[in-house]
Structures are given as structure tokens and as C-alpha cells.
Amino acid sequence: MTKLSVNINKVATIRNARGGDNPDVLKVALDCELFGAQGITVHPRPDERHIRYKDVLDLKPQLKTEFNIEGNPIDKFTNLVLQVKPTQVTLVPDSDSQLTSNHGWDTKANITFLTDVVGRFNEAGIRTSIFVDPDPMMVEYAAKAGAKRVELYTEPYASGYLIDREKAIAPFIAAANMAREMGIGLNAGHDLSLVNLNYFYKMIPWTDEVSIGHALICDALYMGLKSTIQEYLECLK
């Protein structure tokens, strides 16, 4: 079964735009769980422009599903993750000023660094996933670094889907097959939506988790959060 993890960063962005606590990030996360989400994802950046480090601390004791924290493993982030001990940490090679994640790790070039970081999280009992482009070699070296999963960066699939979906999915199938060959789990995320999610799932049904935020929150503006989550879950059947 492929789990749906809802990324609630956009909820925090709306809150921060006005100040105060509306919308309430914690309540939204709990409602996502109530409406069927099987996980919650956050990506606290150093400038805290959406999810704040305090949000992460507030969320952990309240969540009943899998908690996934994404981010660049700088010292501040690493210390937070080791303190909170989420179900999963996803390592993303973002710069401090980056608007959104737009590429995966070069796991071969960074094998020494990633092996050290992954080792620390593994020792703490935290499942570690590495964000990678759909390249079998990057998946292979993520596994060699000790990662339990990879998350495939799916923007190239999403942008190519309406042009030629078979061509767009091909490198992701190759990368997913490598993950299976290496014996590690498979996640996917970035620009997955109601338009393209079901085809991705049908072609790579052994995907363990999809993490979706931006498109899901946009859809929820029209359909409501509960109905939207149900629609995304239908795409994973």
C-alpha cells in the first residue's frame, strides 16, 4: 500500500503571512489524519518562513501517523531531528535561500558526508530517506550510504506528464527498479497532483509513500480538505 503523507508547509505559509495562529498548523495536521492521511510531512527551513522549529516540537507528541521531517542536514536541523525522533527524516540538499526543493543529492559525490549523517539518524532509530533525481546511480549510492529509502524528485515527471506520460515516467521506473534491487524503500514527491498521481501509482505500485503539499492545499481551497484528501487516496488504488 502506498501511503499519503500530507505536507503542511503551505498551511504554515498562510499563517505566517498574517501572524497569529490562523490557520492552526497543529489542528490542520490532526484533521488531515482524521480525514485519512497516513502521514504528515514538514520541511523546516533555517529562516522558518513557513514551518517553524517550534511547530515541529508541538506536532510530534500529538500525531498518530508517521511523521516525516525534510531538510538539509545542517547542525541546527540535525539536532532538531535527533531531539524529536520522527518516524522518518528526508535529507534534501537545499540552500538556505532556496524557494523550493528543485534537485536531488549527488549521492556518489557526497557519499562520505551522507554515510556519516545517515549513520547518526539510523543509530537513533529514525528511518532515513535521501531525496534524489530519477537516476539509478543516485539511488544505488543512497543505498550504499545506508539510507532505508529514497524519495524521487517528481517535478520532471509532473512537467512532462501532459506531453508524453510514458516518456515522463520511464526514468522513474528505472530508478524505482534500482531501489527494489538494492533492497530499500521508495518514496516520491514534488508536483504530484490529482492529474498525474494515479498513473505514477499504477506504473510504480511498490512506492511506499507519496508526500504531497502544494497541489493538495490548492485543491483544498476549492474542494475542502476532507474531500481533497479522499480524492488523493482514491488515486492510490
Task: Say which of 33, 70, 151, 209 is annotated catalytic.
Answer: 70
Does 50 participate in catalysis according to the annotation?
A: no
Q: Is residue 43 annotated as a catalytic residue, yes or no?
A: yes
C-alpha cell at position 217: 492545499
Catalytic option among 33, 140, 151, 190:
190
Choose, from 43, 140, 151, 209, the residue flagged as catalytic.
43
190 is a catalytic site residue: yes
Q: Which residue numbers are catalytic? A: 43, 70, 190
